[in-house]
A and B are shown apart, each in its own frame.
Chain A
Amino acid sequence: MQARTLEIWVGLFVAAGFAALFLLAMQVSNLTMVGGGSSYLLKARFENIAGLKVRAPVTVAGVPVGRVTAITYDSDTYQAVVSMRIEAQYNKLPDDTSASVLTSGLVGEKYVGLEPGGDTEMLKNGSVIKLTQSSLVLENLIGKFLFSKASGGGK
């Protein structure tokens, strides 16, 4: 009898441990997003991606549809090449979809926003998005602003 209660306790402990692992996988992190199998790859070239990181979300109309999987630098065109994995269910993105590096909030994380166009051709696995808009770099903006102020004042 005593031996049985021992086994029951150990069983409960192991079950609780696995339940905790399961919750960590499903509730805390989002395991379904990385379920690699059913997804396709897109690429986009940016002039500047300052602040964008691997694993940053990719959104369409604010809805997350995928993640950034790799960021590389193309030394021939001096551009950043961003690879994104999009979930297979979101496969109706027109060929002339544009991509921009956006910021959530004033100091938030950078993410990639996709803006669907009107083409009838759809993006496929391995397609490259042609229309891109770079990250806003705060220093450049301030620089431009000051420059225009200065030249405006000179007139």
Chain B
Amino acid sequence: MLGRLQSLGHWALGTFERLGRASTLLLSILAGLPGLLLRPRLLIQQTFSIGVLSLLIIVVSGWFVGMVLGFQLYNTLVDFGADASLGPVIALTLVRELGPVVTALLFAGRAGSALTAEIGLMKATEQLSGMEMMAVDPIKRVLAPRFLGGVISMPLLAAIFSIVGVYGGYFVGVGLLGVDKGSYWAQMQSMVDFHDDVLNGIIKSVVFGVVATWIAVFEGYDAVPTSEGVSRATTRTVVHTSLAVLGLDFVLTALMYGVS
């Protein structure tokens, strides 16, 4: 019993310690962001490897999620004779929830794990130490551009996911199941609000972008510099990001739509 209590205490202390280190790292990264303005090339490079390389999985997943929503929601709605509402229901599901959340989860698996592995390996092979000894601050040179690249990429990826999903649903609903084309778009436009739905979705994806990239960059920078340590850190990135995204999504949804 005492031993269990003790290990619980150890775990709590360790968690707070890591949170503290992660926070100081975030502050140093934020301090390094203005310097990036002078070197846009670094940012472009990272936006490529984080954003552009995630594009394929985002487009394909968005299309399939949209098609599945088309089938599932049509079957439910048609029972109420409300199949004309297919458009708005698909759009609201994607724009409010699935767009930001699924994009963030895919981002954790594709870009987040790659970021952690890359930074962890740079640490394990002493590249980060080497930079420090060359008087180049690795937080500014390595972490800051990756962080900003991730934060920029996430909302763009989420928007692409949502719009591709809407067209995937259109393909199934209008193309295969025979929902009226006009009502698909018209109902969508009258039910989806730019401020309440689209903007809130974008805000969510920006928050997820900050959190997912922060976790990925921190886990890499904080990894035990061995191959085992890096692989553990990579796993932690995916697990922690997924949990953080789902938890934050609940909080944000409650704030945005819960109390009116």
Q: Do A and B have CB atoms closer than 8 angstroms in the complex?
A: yes
Residues of A in contact with B (beta carbons under 8 Å apart)? 3, 6-7, 9-10, 12-14, 16-18, 20-21, 23-25, 27-31, 34, 54-55, 57, 64, 105, 107-108
Contact yes or no, B95 A6, CB < 8 A: no
Main secondary structure of the interface of B (DSSP, over half): helix
Is B52 interfacial (CB-CB < 8 Å)? yes
Which residues in B have their C-beta under 8 angstroms from that of A9?
48, 52
Q: Is the CB of B159 within 8 A of A21?
A: yes
Q: Is the CB of A20 within 8 A of B160?
A: yes
Q: Which 8 A-B pairs have the closest CB atoms?
A: A17-B156, A20-B159, A29-B192, A30-B189, A29-B194, A20-B163, A31-B194, A20-B160
Inter-chain contact A24/B195, CB cutoff 8 Å:
no
Cβ B156 vs Cβ A28 within 8 A: no
A28 touches B44 (CB 8 A): no
With CB as the reference atom, state the residue of chain B lying closest to A106.
B81
B52 touches A10 (CB 8 A): yes
Which residue, B157, B194, B195, B198, has most C-beta atoms of chain A within 10 A? Answer: B194
B36 to chain A, nearest CB (A): 14
- The answer to the question of B197 belonging to the interface, with a C-beta cut-off of 8 Å to chain A, is yes
Give bound CA distance, A104 to B155, whole Å.
Answer: 35
Q: Is the CB of A28 within 8 A of B188?
A: yes
Query: Contacts A13-B47, A28-B163, A28-B192 known; A20 to B198 CB distance under 8 Å?
Result: no
CB–CB B195/A10 < 8 A: no
Q: Is B143 an interface residue (CB 8 A)?
A: no
How far apart are the CA atoms of A31 and B190 in the complex, in Å?
10
